[in-house]
Amino acid sequence: MQIYLDTAKVEEIREFAWLIDGVTTNPTLVAQAGRPFREVLREICALVRGPVSAEVISLDAEGMVREAQELARIADNIVIKIPLTPEGLKAVQRLKALGIKTNVTLVFSAPQALLAAKCGADYVSPFVGRIDDHGGDGMGVVAEILQIFRNYSFPTQVIVASVRHPGHVVAAATLGAPIVTMPYAVLQRLFHHPLTEQGIARFLKDWEKVPR
Ligand code: G3P
C-alpha cells in the first residue's frame, strides 16, 4: 500500500519524505500552509518523487484544462485534482488526451467513481471521513469502488482520502486499497503504541544493570 501525505505544509513533507510515496493537497490545505500556491508546489515536487496532487479552482471544463496545463508545467510529477462534476469529467477526458494525469476528488459514492474511471481518471479520491461524518459507511464505499474497478479492469487507482485515524488506514489496507492519503497527525500516530514506548523504557532501564 502506498502512503501519501495530505498536506501542503513543506515542513511536514520534509520530515517524512524518506517514507511517503506521494502528496495530496487541496485549496483548504494550501490556505492552511499560508504561502503562495505555486511556490509551495515547486518545493513539494522537489522533495517528493511520487505524484503530487494540485487542485484546480475553475468550475468549467475549459477553465480547468487551462489551469491544469499551467500547473502541470511546474513539475513532471504533478497530478491535477478535478472535482467530480460533469464539467470536471469533461476536463478529465481532455487532460487524458493531453497526457496530463488527473485525480478526481470529492468522490462520495461508487457510481461517481465509476463515471470518473470511465472518463479516464488516473486516480479517484473517495472521502471516507466525510462520508462517515454524514452517517454513511466510508469504507463500504471504498470496497464497492475497488470491486467495480476489478470487475472491469479499470486502471484507475483508488486514493482513500479524508482519513481521520489509524483505523481508517487499517481498514483501507485490509480492503487492499492501493493508496491512502493521510494528514501528518495520522501518519505520526501510525508509529506509536504504548507498549513499544514502555518496552524501550524498560530495556533502557535494564541495560543500566548490565556490568560494564
Ligand atoms: O485532500 C482531501 C481530503 O483528504 C480532505 O480531508 O479531512 O478535509 O475531510 P478532510
> Ligand 1, atom 8: nearest CA belongs to which residue?
162
DSSP string, the chain: -EEEEE---HHHHHHHTTT-SEEE--HHHHHHHTS-HHHHHHHHHHH-SS-EEEE---SSHHHHHHHHHHHHTT-TTEEEEEESSHHHHHHHHHHHHTT--EEEEEE-SHHHHHHHHHTT-SEEEEBHHHHHHTTS-HHHHHHHHHHHHHHTT--PEEEEBS--SHHHHHHHHHHT-SEEEE-HHHHHHHH--HHHHHHHHHHHHHHTTS--
> pTM for this one?
0.96
pLDDT over 70 percentage in the chain: 100
Cβ–ligand 1 distance for 27 under 6 Å, the answer no
Segment 162-186, tens digit of pLDDT: 999 999 999 999 999 999 999 999 9
Provide Rg for the chain, Cα atoms: 19
CA of 76 to the centre of ligand 1 (A): 24
Q: What is the mean pLDDT of the chain?
A: 98
Segment 103-135, tens digit of pLDDT: 999 999 999 999 999 999 999 999 999 999 999
Write down the pLDDT at residue 172: 98
Write down the pLDDT at residue 161: 98
Write down the pLDDT at residue 46: 96
For range 67-73, the mean pLDDT: 98
Enter the CATH code of domain 2-207. Answer: 3.20.20.70
Cβ–ligand 1 distance for 127 under 6 Å, the answer yes
pLDDT band at 155 (very low <50, low <70, confident <90, very high): very high
Write down the pLDDT at residue 51: 98
Cβ–ligand 1 distance for 26 under 6 Å, the answer yes
Cβ–ligand 1 distance for 129 under 6 Å, the answer yes
Write down the pLDDT at residue 175: 98
Write down the pLDDT at residue 98: 98
For range 67-78, the mean pLDDT: 98
Cβ–ligand 1 distance for 64 under 6 Å, the answer no
Per-domain residue ranges for the chain? Answer: 2-207
CA of 195 to the centre of ligand 1 (A): 30
Write down the pLDDT at residue 164: 98
CA of 115 to the centre of ligand 1 (A): 21
Residue tagged active-site, from 9, 81, 96, 118 = 81
pLDDT band at 204 (very low <50, low <70, confident <90, very high): very high
Report phi then psi at 154, rounded to 5. -65, 135
**205 has catalytic annotation:** no
Write down the pLDDT at residue 42: 97
Cβ–ligand 1 distance for 128 under 6 Å, the answer no
C-alpha cell at 195: 507498549
> Ligand 1, atom 6: nearest CA belongs to which residue?
162
Write down the pLDDT at residue 205: 98
